[in-house]
Amino acid sequence: MQTLKPHAALLASPGMGHLIPVVELGKRLTAHYGFYVTIFVVASDSSIEESPIFGSASALDRLKIVLLPPVDISGLIDSTASVVTQLVMMMHEALPSLRAAISTMRARPTALVVDLFGTEALAVAEKFNMLKYVFIASTARFLAATIHLPTIDGQTEHEHRIMKKPLEIPGLEPVRFEDTLDLFRNQTDKSLYAEYTRIGREIPTADGILVNTWQDLEPSTMHALEDDKFLGRVTKAPVYPVGPLVRPVGPNSKSEVMNWLDMQPVESVIYVSFGSGGTLSAEQTAELAWGLELSQQRFVWVVHPPMDDDASGNFFNGSNGQDGTPNYLPEGFYTRTHDRGVVVPMWAPQTEILAHESVGGFVSHCGWNSTLESIVNGVPMVAWPLYAEQGMNAAMLVEKLGMAVRPRTRAAGRAVGREEIAEMVNSVMKSKGNGMRTRAKELQRNATGVVRKGGSSHNSLTQVARECEVKLYSLSAKALGA
Ligand code: UDP
């Protein structure tokens, strides 16, 4: 007799950084537990279907990716709204199509797993009598901060936001203002704080909270989330650390940058990338170029044209220099660095690059996917946060995990200068003696172990899978009138 296997529906909010870990979770549920998985993707247009992530995952048996009808929020929202407010609005507008898609499915899913911006859809799961989970594609520390938000009073908010006092979270180290979340920093988008507070209230209504972290990475925060003396009484639902869920290295791609890496010595190249959307000002982009040059280290740099609100924003509309250097980089940069650096415009095969033996350091904006990709490859970092929860991630990488350095001057709101950049790059690349590389390699070993059979994250996900199986059997028994 064929055993019944649960069907999980996963809901991914717009953006590669959100879609990638959700797809990895779906893949693990099919590969390790035989689940059927449908991933519903919300996007502003259908171009996402061109992404290789879409194709490779859809080729898997039992896993289907469905793009919900693209949502247009242009007439519904102020053009100055933050990215998060736009995401939240898109997820809200996608709810009717999600509901319709689930109601017409022949085999109703047993569980719905939503990401941070999809918590409103937990009500859809409730309506269809499905188990409901939230998947936090970030740290346990970020989860703790989010569910703590609704308990913060006006006075505490004022002290943190305006007086810049550290934010106390029960059982955790206080969050310094310079490391805090955008919702406390953004003074123009009034709905941001309210939306996060709503999300913080909705998360604990789930049957379980999955987090892309692991027990050994954040033991004290995991304890605070579970213990009633700290956050346990707000968390309510069990927290399952199931990470690291990271995109595996694809089949050997023969791109120019990979060919170049093949020719470099082991651990001699620093990889520089600020994620899918991270953009620096014109001044900062130029300082980074000078800093890399000054460091004398080999590098691969994924460059986005700079953006800032002053006149220099026009910089990148002009033509390139004689040697092809774009005019937002110092003149002659390509000529002076061509023997030890590669500049990749816009997008690079990051997981492949970080896994390459020639790469020995990563200058990163500390998006959680990038951070995990660095950890699973044992690569020490220059932790250079830009937005969202990246400041908290950077603080953890430097102070708790000891595998990164971070800019000192960023806190003052100034551009990070070339000397400091060169100094940070050199300290990471020459980190044999200073412990960062050793720590990164230790964390790599630990991260590899926890997802294997018997490892803590494997066990956590097994618990979730069991709950889904129990639910499926009870539903089938009911249907048979048992
Ligand atoms: N990424 C990539 N190539 C790039 C930039 C990003 O493959 O040039 C991938 C990266 O490997 C990671 C994801 O996009 O998996 C970015 O997610 P992250 O959470 O680090 O940052 P976000 O882009 O969401 O700010």
Residue pLDDT, tens place only, 123-156: 999 999 999 999 999 999 999 999 999 999 999 9
* CATH of span 256-443: 3.40.50.2000
**Confidence (pTM):** 0.95
Question: What are the structural domain ranges in the chain?
Answer: 7-243+453-481, 256-443
Q: How many Å lie between the centroid of ligand 1 and the Cα of residue 350?
A: 7
Whole-number pLDDT of residue 252: 65
Whole-number pLDDT of residue 315: 32
Whole-number pLDDT of residue 459: 98
Q: Residue 312 and residue 306: Cα distance in Å, rounded?
A: 9
Q: Which fold has domain 7-243+453-481?
A: Rossmann fold (3.40.50)
Whole-number pLDDT of residue 313: 34
CA 139 to chain CA centroid, nearest Å: 9
Catalytic entry in 7, 18, 148, 160? 18
Which atom of ligand 1 lies nearest, measured to the CA of 390?
25
Which atom of ligand 1 lies nearest, measured to the CA of 366?
20
Whole-number pLDDT of residue 190: 79
Q: Residue 169 and residue 231: Cα distance in Å, rounded?
A: 8
Which atom of ligand 1 lies nearest, measured to the CA of 275?
23
Which atom of ligand 1 lies nearest, measured to the CA of 278?
25
User: Ligand 1, residues 51, 276, 301, 302: which to mutate, most atoms within 8 A of Cβ?
Assistant: 276
Q: How many Å lie between the centroid of ligand 1 and the Cα of residue 435?
A: 26
* CB proximity list for 162: less than 8 A, separation 6 or greater: none
* CB proximity list for 189: less than 8 A, separation 6 or greater: 80, 81, 82, 85
Whole-number pLDDT of residue 345: 92
Whole-number pLDDT of residue 1: 46
Whole-number pLDDT of residue 360: 97
Full pLDDT tens readout for the chain, 482 residues: 457 899 999 999 999 889 999 999 999 999 999 999 999 999 887 787 777 777 767 677 899 999 999 888 888 888 778 888 999 999 999 999 999 999 999 889 999 999 999 999 999 999 999 999 999 999 999 999 999 999 999 999 999 999 999 999 999 999 999 999 999 988 888 789 999 999 999 999 999 999 999 999 999 999 999 999 999 999 999 999 999 999 999 876 689 999 999 999 999 999 999 998 888 999 999 999 999 999 999 999 999 999 875 323 333 344 567 788 888 999 999 999 999 999 999 999 999 999 999 999 999 999 999 999 999 999 999 999 999 999 999 999 999 999 999 998 665 668 999 999 999 999 999 866 679 999 999 999 999 999 999 999 999 999 999 999 999 998 888 887 76
For residue 99, the tally of other CB atoms under 10 A from its CB is 15
Q: Which residue, judged by its Cα, is nearest atom 8 of ligand 1?
A: 347
Whole-number pLDDT of residue 440: 97
Confirm whether 18 is a catalytic residue: yes
Catalytic entry in 7, 61, 92, 115? 115
Q: How many Å lie between the centroid of ligand 1 and the Cα of residue 117?
A: 18
Whole-number pLDDT of residue 70: 87
The radius of gyration of the chain's CA atoms, rounded to the nearest angstrom, is: 23
Confirm whether 356 is a catalytic residue: no
Q: Which residue, judged by its Cα, is nearest atom 7 of ligand 1?
A: 350
Whole-number pLDDT of residue 311: 29
Q: Which residue, judged by its Cα, is nearest atom 24 of ligand 1?
A: 17
How many DSSP H helices and E strands does the chain contain?
Answer: 19, 13
* CB proximity list for 437: less than 8 A, separation 6 or greater: 267, 360, 378, 380, 403, 431
Answer yes or no: same fold for 7-243+453-481 and 256-443: yes
Q: What residue ranges line ligand 1, CB within 6 angstroms? A: 15-17, 20, 247, 273, 275-278, 302, 347-348, 350-351, 367-370, 373
